[in-house]
């Protein structure tokens, strides 16, 4: 059974940093493309960024609002995906989901972790 | 990249069929067959219900179907059931090597 468990969310001040983790199990993590999607309170879904598998180059792509501030990485030895968030803004407040990506869709989702950026 | 356009809400009675539209541009919906649909119940994570325009993942009811014409994709739910009441989101790959979601549609089963 595929399981994705996010952690690391919490309250942070504007300008601060936070690192989210996503522990994966039930599939071959090293072969998977992985994505972060966020959802602000009461709002819709927003794609944050994606990392390819190392065999496909391990490259990353990001949405414009987070490019240059957020970094996605992976540790295949630990079956874990990361999202390093720097220079956080109040508009980054959201539930952050990690997902697997197959073709053009996000097929498995974690339960999400809440990040609140507030002074 | 602007969000894809979905109606804010749709409604239908049990047993009826409804269709949710998702309108983009030739740089996203119209340019690629990478349109997917997600169902989200309150307080829950989204669930994939349609991938690659019209493919249903294993375990998803055949009451859900997807299609695309030009820059508009559509999700049809037939034989509406109370459990279908949820928010629905479309998503598409874009020419900027990113993904974009629709604003979401709230489905009410009357």
In the predicted model, is pLDDT for residue A19 greater than 90? yes
Residue-wise pLDDT for B17-75, tens only, equals 999 999 999 999 999 999 999 999 999 999 999 999 999 999 999 999 999 999 999 99
CB contact under 8 Å between A45 and B38, yes or no, is yes
**Residue ranges of chain B whose CB lies within 8 Å of a chain A CB:** 1, 3, 32-36, 38, 40, 45-48, 51-52, 57, 89, 91-93, 97-104
Which residue of chain B is at minimal alpha-carbon distance from A46? B101
Average pLDDT on A100-107 reads 93
In the predicted model, is pLDDT for residue A103 greater than 90? no
Contact criterion met (CB below 8 Å) for B37 and B47 = no
In the predicted model, is pLDDT for residue B2 greater than 90? no
Average pLDDT on A3-24 reads 98
In the predicted model, is pLDDT for residue A38 greater than 70? yes
Q: Calculate the average pLDDT of chain A.
A: 97
In the predicted model, is pLDDT for residue B1 greater than 70? no
Chain B residues close to A97, C-beta within 8 Å: 45-46
Contact criterion met (CB below 8 Å) for A7 and A112 = no
The DSSP secondary-structure symbol of B67 reads E
Distance (Å) from the alpha carbon of B63 to chain A's nearest alpha carbon:
19
Which of A47, A107, A110 lies nearest to residue B48, judging by beta carbons?
A107
In the predicted model, is pLDDT for residue B88 greater than 70? yes
| Distances A41 to B14, B40, B44, B63 between C-alpha atoms, Å | 30, 14, 13, 30
């Amino acid at each position: 059974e595929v399981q994705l468990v996010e952690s690391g969310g919490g309250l942070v001040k504007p300008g601060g940093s936070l690192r989210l983790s996503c522990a994966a199990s039930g599939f071959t993590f090293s072969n998977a493309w992985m994505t972060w999607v966020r959802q602000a309170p009461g709002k819709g879904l927003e794609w944050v960024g994606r990392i390819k598998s190392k065999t496909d180059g391990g490259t990353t792509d990001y949405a414009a609002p987070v490019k240059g501030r957020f970094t996605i990485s992976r540790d295949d030895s630990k079956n874990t995906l990361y999202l390093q968030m720097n220079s956080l803004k109040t508009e980054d407040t959201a539930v952050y989901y990690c997902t697997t990506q197959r073709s053009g869709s996000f097929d498995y989702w974690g339960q999400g972790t809440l990040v609140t950026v507030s002074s | 990249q602007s969000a894809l356009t979905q109606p804010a809400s749709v409604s239908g009675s049990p047993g009826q069929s409804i269709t949710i539209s998702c309108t983009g541009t030739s740089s996203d919906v119209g340019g690629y067959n990478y349109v997917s649909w997600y169902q989200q119940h309150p307080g829950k994570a989204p669930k994939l219900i349609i991938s690659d325009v019209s493919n249903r993942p294993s375990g998803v009811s055949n009451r859900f179907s997807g299609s695309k014409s030009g820059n508009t994709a559509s999700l049809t739910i037939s034989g509406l059931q109370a459990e279908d009441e949820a928010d629905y989101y479309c998503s598409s790959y874009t020419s900027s090597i990113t993904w974009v979601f629709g604003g979401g549609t709230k489905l009410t089963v009357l």
